[in-house]
């Protein structure tokens, strides 16, 4: 937990240089079950086991500091591990929001899922259940958290890399749930020509997943539905923050080593192209959005910084300041 990992693949998520996360002592090591009014002490950290059509899903939460009902969903990247959400170990997200009256919600797992509802189980790795992450994040999980006093309608959502585009598209299609969306180094235009092949290569590298079982042939309705740039009109009026690096390394890259930094530069160059297309699209539509393109690569320390920039925007959107 918190060590340096090698970055593999070229759409995969670059992971930590140095683990700076602060893990607050866990409240209740046993898995919790929902019941009306049940929740950990304000500000506590807890692991929940949430029923879903995919089977039980682990969810890590840090409860609102003063018992508030607002929530921030935080999505992992392509290589999401099965035992924890990397935001809790590879960034200081828990510490950033420790004093805020908003519950942090960290879904665990879903590697190569793009946090979407798939057509069928992946046919290339003998996947047992069909990924249904949109259903989980917008129906099953909010219903479960409601039993702990968490609002189903006053939520924000952010994600890095794979989770970035998902955060925007989930917010676009579920405006009744999400009041803010943020994408950090997200690949926010997957229908752009040949990007489906980039995703195919990355998903094969991370678990032998088959992109065709996710959204079918390139360019069909599922691809368009899950493209934040295509769906930009649905984001009109939603506070949002899109952060992307320009691929140039800086001091935050140094602990990674040269090989990882080169890989992270290439990944961010792809994310940069998508961010620029998204920026041009929302500008053409007259949709307000904060979009920052700065020095940086596809690594966790930059996403930690992006989250800290987004934090006051999130708190304002949720009415918790």
**Domain boundary assignment for the chain:** 45-318
Q: How far apart are CA 206 and CA 198, in angstroms?
A: 12
Q: How far apart are CA 150 and CA 277, in angstroms?
A: 35
Structure tokens at 286: 């007259």
Predicted TM-score (pTM) of this structure: 0.88
Among candidate residues 120, 147, 277, 317, the one with its CA nearest the CA of residue 211:
120
Contact 155, 81 (CB under 8 A): no
Q: What is the pLDDT along the chain (321 residues), one digit of tens a residue?
A: 333 333 333 333 333 322 223 233 333 333 344 444 566 678 899 999 999 999 999 999 999 999 999 999 999 999 999 999 999 999 999 999 999 999 999 999 999 999 999 999 999 999 999 999 999 999 999 999 999 999 999 999 999 999 999 999 999 999 999 999 999 999 999 999 988 999 999 999 999 999 999 999 998 999 999 999 999 999 999 999 999 999 998 778 866 555 577 888 888 999 999 999 999 999 999 999 999 999 999 999 999 999 999 999 999 999 998
Whether 268 is catalytic: yes
Task: Tell whether the torsion through CA atoms of 205, 209, 215 and 220 is positive or negative.
Answer: positive
Task: Report strand pairing: 57-62 vs 45-50.
Answer: antiparallel
Q: What is the CATH number of domain 45-318?
A: 3.40.50.1820
Q: How far apart are CA 113 and CA 312, in angstroms?
A: 29
Considering the candidates 161, 174, 183, 206, report the single residue annotated as catalytic: 161
Q: How far apart are CA 37 and CA 315, in angstroms?
A: 24
Q: How far apart are CA 99 and CA 64, in angstroms?
A: 8
């Amino acid at each position: 937990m918190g060590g340096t990992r090698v970055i593999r693949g070229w759409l995969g998520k670059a992971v930590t240089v140095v683990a700076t996360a602060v893990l607050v002592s866990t409240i209740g090591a046993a898995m919790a079950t929902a019941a009306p009014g049940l929740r950990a002490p304000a500000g506590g950290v807890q692991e929940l086991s949430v029923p879903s059509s995919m089977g039980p899903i682990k969810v890590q939460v840090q409860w609102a500091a003063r018992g508030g009902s607002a929530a921030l969903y935080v999505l992992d990247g392509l290589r999401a591990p099965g035992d924890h959400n990397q935001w809790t170990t590879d960034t200081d997200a828990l510490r950033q929001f420790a004093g805020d009256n908003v519950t942090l919600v960290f879904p665990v797992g879903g590697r190569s899922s793009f946090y979407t509802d798939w057509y069928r189980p992946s046919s290339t790795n003998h996947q047992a259940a069909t990924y249904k992450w949109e259903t989980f994040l917008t129906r099953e999980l909010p219903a479960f958290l409601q039993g702990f006093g968490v609002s189903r309608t006053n939520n924000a959502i952010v994600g890095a890399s794979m989770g970035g585009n998902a955060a925007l598209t989930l917010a676009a299609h579920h405006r009744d749930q999400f009041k803010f969306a943020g994408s950090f180094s997200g690949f926010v235009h997957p229908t752009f020509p040949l990007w489906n092949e980039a995703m195919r290569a990355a998903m094969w590298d991370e678990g032998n997943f088959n992109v065709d079982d996710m959204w079918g042939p390139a360019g069909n309705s599922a691809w368009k539905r899950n493209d934040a740039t295509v769906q930009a009109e649905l984001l009109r009026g939603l506070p949002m923050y899109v952060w992307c690096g320009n691929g140039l390394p800086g001091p935050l890259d140094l602990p990674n080593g040269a090989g990882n930094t080169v890989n992270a530069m290439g990944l961010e160059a792809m994310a940069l192209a998508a961010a620029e297309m998204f920026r041009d699209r929302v500008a053409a539509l007259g949709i307000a959005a904060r979009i920052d393109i700065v020095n940086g690569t596809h690594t966790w320390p930059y996403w930690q910084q992006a989250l800290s920039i987004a934090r006051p925007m999130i708190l304002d959107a949720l009415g918790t300041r």
